[in-house]
Amino acid sequence: MELANTLPMPMWLYWVIFLLALWTIPWKGVALWRAAGNKHLAWFICILIFNTLAILEIIYIFGFSKKKS
């Protein structure tokens, strides 16, 4: 028995998932780019593994990714 046939998703849920992906992907890309450039391996791994709807990515970009002079 297929799970997809027993639990149909409403159409609006597909749009929510799509919009969340559009929100998350650019933030994740910028955060991963900065973490790699700053050689922050722990941040890179955490951002890569955990999907926090861009919360972790935004915290890193604005709080921890500043280059030290």
CA dihedral 22, 60, 31, 12 (to 10 degrees): -10
- Whether residue 39 lies inside any domain: the answer is yes
Query: Is 3 within a domain?
Result: no
DSSP, collapsed to helix, strand or coil, labels residue 8 as coil
- According to the model, what pLDDT value does residue 49 have? 95
* 8 alpha-carbon distance from chain centroid: 26
User: Is 10 part of any domain?
Assistant: no
**What range defines the domain where residue 36 resides?**
18-64
**How many domains is the chain partitioned into structurally?**
1
Q: pTM, whole model, 2 decimals?
A: 0.77
Q: Does residue 28 lie within any of the structural domains?
A: yes
Q: DSSP characters for 53-68? A: TTHHHHHIIIII-PPP
The ranges of the chain with pLDDT < 70 are 1-6, 67-69
**Triad 63, 68, 69: Cα angle to 5°:** 140
For residue 51, the model assigns a pLDDT of: 87
